[in-house]
Amino acid sequence: MERVEDIELCRIADAKVKEKVMFLLIRHRVPYAERWDEVPLLKRGKYHGAKEVCVVLTHPEHRKEAIEIIQGMDKEIQSQIILPEDEK
C-alpha cells in the first residue's frame, strides 16, 4: 500500500524483472509498494513498447539500500530497470 511519504525507486516494464526486484527487496527487508501507470503512446519506446509500467516505491530512508540492491543485479536485468533521472 502506497503511503504519502513513499518516493519513487524505479520503473519496470517487464513483469519477470519486476518479480526479481521484489524478491530481492523482500529478502533484504526493504519496504516497498508498487503501482501500475499507463504509458503514453509517444513514451513507449523508453519502456520497450510496454503499455503500462510498474512504479516501485519505497520509504526515503531505504532508498539508498534499495538502489545498491538494484545496482548489484545482473547488467541485463539492470538494463530493464529505469531509475529516476538523478541516479543515471
pLDDT reading at 69 higher than 80: yes
Q: Which residues contact 53 (CB under 8 A, 6 or more apart)?
A: 11, 12, 13, 36, 37, 39, 47
Residue identified by cell 538494463 is 79
Confidence grade of residue 88 (pLDDT, cut at 50, 70, 90): very low
pLDDT tens digit sequence for 22-68: 999 999 999 999 999 999 999 888 888 899 999 999 999 999 999 99
Quote the pTM value.
Answer: 0.84
The answer to whether 66 and 9 have CB atoms below 8 angstroms apart is yes
The answer to whether 78 and 70 have CB atoms below 8 angstroms apart is yes
